[in-house]
Amino acid sequence: MYSELLKKFLTPEQVVQILSSLPPVKFPVMETVFSDRVQIPFASVAKEDILSDMNELPVIRRGFPAYEINNDDYEVTTYEPLPVRHSQMIYAKELNDLKGLNHGDQAIWVRNMTDKMRRRYIKTVEALCAIALSGKIEWPMHEPGGRMPQNYLIDFGTPHTLDMSALKPWSDSGAKIVDVFATLKAMRKILRQSGFGAELEIWAGENAYERIVAMAQVHPEKSSLNVTIDENGINVAGYLVKERAETFRYPAVDVVAPVVPADDVLMIAKEAGHKLIYCAVDDLDAKLHAMPFFIKMVKRDDPSGIKLISEGKPFPVVNVKGICRATVTQAA
């Protein structure tokens, strides 16, 4: 009976309406690198479908067969994304209080509860996206009994790393803004050799960004190398560098990690095919469909109440050929 109190607000259609009415939760990695969102009706993802080479094609002589793409050059791999699922218990006492409210206030309560569960979920998706930029997703995996004995592991390969041996580290006392330009140009050259680099996102860790700011302050204004600083970042002759000092927390081990290590610069070719895939949810109440976020109710007797369970199966995919890292500062 009391489950009907919530059920009328938490049908799949109602949840979609609630989510669309909530203010957007903005996270930099999802917004910039993983703005391409795809839903697929499968529980697994084939590597050949998401990471196949997008190389240029030859033209074909008229009347001749089509150019055949050969996918036999590598071993076919299937990724099995795991769900992000968490629950929130609504006890009978809360339901008793809730039934005394009018319909509008009940709707507000459900909206706020949905928003709370959504924010936990999206924060986790953002962390997975940030980790994926390393070429590998490694995240604690929860098992029955609250144990997290092993990690969920997905390996996309190794991104490019710039060899700094022929370049001056930004932490050197004699480093100038021209050395920043040389580093960024070398990183872009690596991406261009992989066929990317038309649209760049450049992120600097905390220490690296501080050094750019320091060098920009003493950069001569009359120099032919144009340098500007505003709320968007530091533009060095056309390379817009943004500080990325955000962090995320690994559950279970309670370790906080930076999106970009303090001494690093990360250059990402946005056109390289990075995307955020939502796979089919393993739940009959969701009709086994792919959806970014799903909430269901389960009646509990001890203690009495309703358990709200949210679930989604997010899978951030990166093309490591479109990512380049460089460690540009060193500890004194």
Q: Is the pLDDT of residue 138 over 70?
A: yes
Per-residue pLDDT, 212: 95
Task: Report the C-alpha gap between 9 and 17 in whole angstroms.
Answer: 10
In a domain, 40, yes or no: yes
Range of the domain at 262: 160-268+322-327
Q: Is the pLDDT of residue 235 over 80?
A: yes
Per-residue pLDDT, 116: 92
Give the number of other Cβ atoms within 10 Å of residue 94's Cβ. 14
- Mean pLDDT over residues 28-44, rounded? 91
Q: How many folded domains does the chain comprise?
A: 2
Asked if residue 240 and residue 138 are part of one domain, the reply reads: no
In a domain, 16, yes or no: yes
- Mean pLDDT over residues 209-226, rounded? 88
Q: Is the pLDDT of residue 186 over 90?
A: yes
Asked if residue 110 and residue 14 are part of one domain, the reply reads: yes
In a domain, 239, yes or no: yes
Asked if residue 135 and residue 29 are part of one domain, the reply reads: yes
Q: Which of 253, 258, 223 is nearest to 134 (CA)?
A: 258
Are 32 and 201 within 8 A, CB to CB? Answer: yes
Q: CATH number of the domain that 243 lies in? A: 3.30.1930
Asked if residue 137 and residue 171 are part of one domain, the reply reads: no
In a domain, 125, yes or no: yes
Among the residue ranges 62-66, 103-107, 284-288, the one predicted with the least confidence is 62-66
In a domain, 104, yes or no: yes
Asked if residue 147 and residue 19 are part of one domain, the reply reads: yes
Q: CATH number of the domain that 282 lies in? A: 3.15.30.10
Among the residue ranges 57-66, 129-138, 168-177, 184-193, the one predicted with the least confidence is 57-66
Task: Report the C-alpha gap between 152 and 124 in whole angstroms.
Answer: 14
Beta strands in 232-301 (DSSP E): 233-236, 239-243, 247-250, 255-258, 264-269, 275-278, 294-301
Strands 314-317 and 275-278: antiparallel
pTM of the model: 0.88
